[in-house]
Amino acid sequence: MSSGQRLDHPLRFVPHMRDAVWGGHRLAERLPWVPAGSRLAEAWLVSGHPTAETPVAHGPLAGRRLSRLIREFGTDLVGTRHADTVAQGRFPILLKLLDVDEWLSVQVHPAQGDGRHETFGKTEMWIVLAAEPDAELILGLKPGTTRADIQQAGPSRTLTHWLQRHQVRAGDTFFVPAGQVHALGPGITVLEVQETSNTTWRMYDWDRPLRPEQPRPLHWRQSLACLDTAVAVSNPVVPRPETWQGLDASRLITCPQFAADLATVAAGESVVAEGDPTTCRIMVVLEGSLGITAAGGSAELGLLDCCLLPAALESFTMTGLEHSRAAWVHLP
């Protein structure tokens, strides 16, 4: 299956940028690859979704997209535990940044793909990167809310009476299983980790005026079909302290779709990490800057830069160019 080239170095990707009516300007102020002053709703950092696959940015594999990498390298890319991913041909998780200036629609995602356009459902999580003082989000139903309450409210502002609001602070983590109603509010920037799906069923869109050039239809029937009124998830998530590769770390989420940790590297500290042939890892720098060096190449990563470490890597070295904190996401 291999093309003769080796997956012996970290892979960086060209982000895919998207705007929406709710997009903001904070990412343009923080990221050198976002045009100054532009509004940006989403930056897809690592994506194997066919509507927006992110190509490799540098090195001998530059320009190749994740679907081609899976075809060429198979489990050397994703890990020996994930032969099913190779058979499906689609990378199972997607990482993106969201910059929110207006309420996102009240929405819900299905637990399974439709077998045609979408291979996966859409369970997701958010790591809050920035939040204004009064920022809040919607996640889940208020205790005691029934399906009949939701049906009676309909796709109107009355619906929001039954929805649970959460105050948001930078550093919070929220877990959003498929079927749980949710909406990000104004003044929030997040790193989102999700299954590779672009299916969103809108329940309510805050009575925004219709724009023919940017239609935002509601999907009431589909929403009710996948809405889980029984789901009960404790949010925000309480991190669990642990040690990873000798570093101070914390486990944020473990679910069947993905797992996520935070790890800190001190300025000037170098750590040799063992590879894991059973799975790949994606790293996103949340604070500071890091160097990643492997047998076949290296990468210097600044704020909100990311890279994919293939399962074939036997080891790699992390060096804190500054005091750094990074999110590490892997396939369980």
Terminal Cα distance for the chain, rounded:
23
Does the annotation mark 202 as catalytic?
Answer: yes
Hunting for tokens 């404790």 — which residue is that? 234
Q: Is 267 helix (H, G, I), strand (E, B) or coil?
A: coil
From 12, 65, 202, 281, active-site residue:
202
Query: Residue 166: which H helix or E strand, with range?
Result: strand 163-167
Judge contact between 126 and 174, C-beta under 8 A. Answer: yes
Read off the DSSP letter of residue 208.
Answer: P
Distance CA 39, CA 83 (A): 39
Alpha-carbon torsion (232, 235, 237, 238), positive or negative = negative
Q: What is the DSSP string of 14-51?
A: --EEE--TTBBSHHHHH-TTSPTT--BSEEEEE---TT
* H helix or E strand, kind and range, residue 13: none
Report yes or no: 312 and 8 within 8 Å, Cβ to Cβ: yes
Catalytic (active-site) positions: 202
